[in-house]
Amino acid sequence: MTKHKRKDFSLFDRALAAQAARSAVAKLDPRVLSRNPVMFVTGVVALLTTFIFLRDLVIGAAMTGTVGQIAFWLWVTVLFANFAEAIAEGRGKARADSLRATQAETECRRLTGDPAVHENFELVSSQRLRKDDVVLVEAGDLIPADGEVIEGVASVDESAITGESAPVIRESGGDRSAVTGGTRLVSDWLVIRVTAEPGKSFLDRMIAMVEGAERQKTPNEIALNILLVGMTIIFVLVVVTLEPFALFSGTSIPVAFLVALLVTLIPTTIGGLLSAIGIAGMDRLVKANVIAKSGRAVEAAGDVDTLLLDKTGTITFGNRMADAFMPLPGVSERELIETALLASFPDETPEGKSIVDLAHKMLGREVDALRERVGEFVPFSAQTRLSGADLTDGGEVRKGASDAMLHYAGAKASLDLTRIVESIGKSGGTPLVVARDRRILGVIHLKDIIKPGIRERFAELRRLGIRTVMITGDNPLTAAAIAAEAGVDDFLAEATPEKKLELIRQEQAEGKLVAMCGDGSNDAPALAQADIGVAMNTGTPAAKEAGNLIDLDSDPTKLIEVVLVGKQLLISRGALTTFSIANDVAKYFAILPALFITAYPGLQALNIMDLASPASAILSAVIFNALVIFALIPLALRGVRYSPTTAGELLRRNLLIYGLGGLVVPFAGIKAIDVAVSALGLV
């Protein structure tokens, strides 16, 4: 159901990586660095350690080499974090550049007088168009700006925006009147009223979003940042007070070693990857062809409690299809099928085609031989309300609604017919009565066909704790039957825009977060009221303005994916924070015995990793701390693996991987680095 047409960049694309490496250095600028408190602290102490190294070099102090290496790895820590952010931004920029290419300046015809008169125009640059200008666009032209069609019908190639190569129809009035700047007209002409000021167009917003230029921290990101700052303050207190305690114990710890302890304790892993996770989350959304107007909307999507989905096109295919042939007593099934087939061969409507398909399925392809017997097609008309064919042998076959067919047959409904028709109606289907030569043979059961896989999707959502509500214009009986078959939790039948709005307000009053998707202008109030409103790209400008997410594929099931992206974003942050904190345990066991070896040699008992020397232990912990950021960049960009399941199960799994893993991994990692450090004779 999803189309992943956009190019996916390999994780470390060579050109991207080179660019990111340069920008990682540029990001050392204190003004940039200070936006990330954890990394700012790391940068400051790296600078401090560098000064100490230079001073030691001049006065020729002991362990200068170790101090120099610590300083080096502290800088590497900051650079890795900057690199993570830069590579995430770089991927967004690359995507933005390809979008920008479509935004090239073009000449366009601005109508100067009456919009109905196409001859009075002036040629202006697309950059100079203002809101409410009216332009004429002809086949082959780029549409110069976002706008609404006020006259004409044309097909438009929107592949630059949506990636979908098949052109789409755009016409004035109705729900298909919005056009996007940068798309190309492939046939006919349109008169368009511009709806966006220059620089504020849809494409501009999309570029800003993927570039991260307009990225504002989301509420949960802010909260997490506060926690990280708090932990940094706590560990600053821990490390600063350690020196007086050491002095009391008759020893003094070199400042470079205290710095090493501080940097390994503060949450550098999550601090370094936090913004990369956010940017990458946006990027994943763009890849799914969804544009978020704010990061807040994506995060809120993870919290959704209730999902409102339109029946048609989302849960069911747009049309009703034949599901079964139900003959009256005394009529063979074969006779009914053949008659229905004869009545449907020339019928080009989706219902007619579905009858032919079902007949093929039941009797095989051979029945196509019957086609020769069809004489003249009798199309559906409002008067007769039935359709069919006159046969070459003079017979008549007809199909239609029950009352129309009874009128045609000039008969009263038999008990059997009434029973069949009513049972089909009760199950949510539509009965189509079939007759031959005015004799009623039986009924075709037409029903809404549920899209394959949708039931499983709803079950998934239920496990996530999300309630699905089907919105339909059908009567309650039909709606209930389809709702039961599709596996939605609830339905809103005979829905009107007012009813939708009321439903959303009611859910929100219960403290629930509501998501919905829509395309029509009459959806706009509900889209605006919903916490997450996904507007279809094919929708009206009003709908697109009211929603906070826009789906370029206009696929209503995309909402489900948006929810998953939102959740994955939060999970990635939480998991890496847990990992970061859990890491500290091993770092204590590496560094503390090394720091206290002169005061209390007995504390070597804490050196459970059996690290080679104090200097090697401290250096190994610092190196591990830096490398782990680099190693986790792919995870930050990709997001933590996530499959829908209950919260308890999810937590158990993530705690096992990132909590327990975070405890164990650094023991192995630091030991391995220590072996390498001492083998290479670095200290």
Partner 1 sequence: MPQTLSAYVPATTLEGAKQLIAQGPAASQIAIKQLGTNGGGFFNVNSAHPLENPTQLSNLLQLLYILLIPAAFCFLFGHMVKDKRQGIAIFAAMGILFVVGLAVVYGAEIHGNTLYDTLPIDQAAGNMEGKEVRFGTGLSALWAEATTAASNGSVNSMHDSFTPLAGLALLLNMQVGEVIFGGVGAGFYGMLLFVVLTVFLAGLMVGRTPEYLGKKIEAKEVKLAVLAFLSMPVGILVFGAVAAIVPSALAAVQDPGPHGLSEILYAYSSATGNNGSAFAGFGANLPFHTTLQGIAMLLGRYAFIVPMLAIAGALATKTPAPASAGTFPTHGPLFVVLLTVVVLILGGLTFFPALALGPIAEQVAMLADQTF
Among positions 598-627, residues that touch partner 1 (CB under 8 A) are: 599-600, 602-603, 605-606
Q: Which of 72, 75, 325, 596 binds partner 1 (CB under 8 A)?
A: 596
Cα dihedral: 351, 172, 6, 18 (round 10): 180
**Angstrom distance (rounded) from CA 390 to CA 132:** 56
Does residue number 512 form part of the binding site for partner 1 (CB under 8 A)? Answer: yes
Q: Is the sign of the CA dihedral 559, 531, 6, 163 positive or negative?
A: positive
Minimal distance, residue 466 CB to partner 1, in Å: 7
* Residue of 60, 330, 648, 681 interacting with partner 1 (CB under 8 A): 648
**Binding residue for partner 1 (CB under 8 A) from 101, 233, 664, 668?**
233
Pick the closer one to partner 1 by CB: 139 or 233: 233
Q: Considering 310, 448, 553, 555, which one is annotated as catalytic?
A: 310
Beta-strand (E) ranges in 381-452?
A: 386-391, 396-400, 430-436, 439-450
Given 249, 496, 506, 643, the residue binding partner 1 (CB under 8 A): 249
Examine residue 35 and tell whether it contacts partner 1 (CB under 8 A): no
Q: Which of 549, 638, 574 is nearest to 91 (CA)?
A: 638
Among 28, 124, 592, 597, binds partner 1 (CB under 8 A): 592
Cβ distance 252 to 597 under 8 Å? Answer: no
Instruction: Examine residue 548 and tell whether it contacts partner 1 (CB under 8 A).
Output: no
Residue-wise DSSP of 90-154: HHHHHHHHHHHHTT---EEEEE-S-TT-SS-EEEEEGGG--TT-EEEEETTPBP-S-EEEEE-EE
Smallest distance from partner 1 to CB 241, Å: 4
Residues 458-487 close enough to bind partner 1 by CB under 8 A: 462-467
Query: Does residue 303 touch partner 1 according to CB under 8 A?
Result: yes
Is 634 one of the binding residues for partner 1 (CB under 8 A)? no
Task: Kindly state whether residue 656 participates in binding partner 1, applying the rule CB under 8 A.
Answer: no
Interacting residue with partner 1 among 11, 101, 226, 668 (CB under 8 A): 226
Least distance CB 609 / partner 1 (angstroms): 16
- Rank residues 421 and 513 by Cβ distance to partner 1 and give the closer one: 513
For residue 384, the Cα-to-chain-centroid distance in whole angstroms is: 48
Candidates 89-97, 349-357, 580-588, 607-615; binding stretch for partner 1 (CB under 8 A): 580-588
Q: Report the alpha-carbon distance of residue 316 to residue 473 in Å, rounded.
A: 13
CB 397 within 8 A of CB 388: yes
Among 260, 575, 629, 632, binds partner 1 (CB under 8 A): 575
Number of residues engaging partner 1 in binding (CB under 8 A)? 78
CB of 243 to partner 1, least distance (A): 8
Helix (H, G, I), strand (E, B) or coil at 348: coil
278-297 mask for partner 1 (x: CB under 8 A)? Answer: --------------------
The residue within the footprint of partner 1, chosen from 658, 665, 669, 674 (CB under 8 A), is 658
Joined tokens for residue 71: 């300083």
End-to-end CA distance of the chain: 57
* Angle formed at CA 212 by CA 210 and CA 218, multiple of 5 degrees: 110
283 is catalytic: no
> Least distance from C-beta 154 to partner 1, angstroms?
43
Alpha helices in 492-554 (DSSP H): 497-509, 524-529, 541-546
Residue closer to partner 1 by CB (options 64, 572) is 572
- What tokens were used for 609? 């990793």
Selected binder of partner 1 within 222, 459, 484, 676 (CB under 8 A): 222
In degrees, rounded to 5, the angle at the alpha carbon of residue 9 between the alpha carbons of residues 7 and 14 is: 140
Q: What is the DSSP letter of 557?
A: T
Is residue 637 close enough to count as binding partner 1 by CB under 8 A?
no
Q: Is 441 helix (H, G, I), strand (E, B) or coil?
A: strand
R_g of the chain computed on alpha carbons: 34
Nearest distance in Å: CB 215, partner 1: 17
Our CB check for partner 1 shows the closer of 366 and 510 to be 510
Sort residue 247 into left (φ over 0), alpha (ψ -120 to 50) or beta.
alpha
Q: How far is the CB of 607 from partner 1 (least distance, A)?
A: 11
Q: Least distance from C-beta 245 to partner 1, angstroms? A: 5
Piece of 68-76, 321-329, 571-579, 627-635 that binds partner 1 (CB under 8 A): 571-579
SS3 of 563-589: the string is HHHHHHHHHHHHHHHHHHHHHHHHHHH
For the annotated catalytic residues, the residue numbers are 310
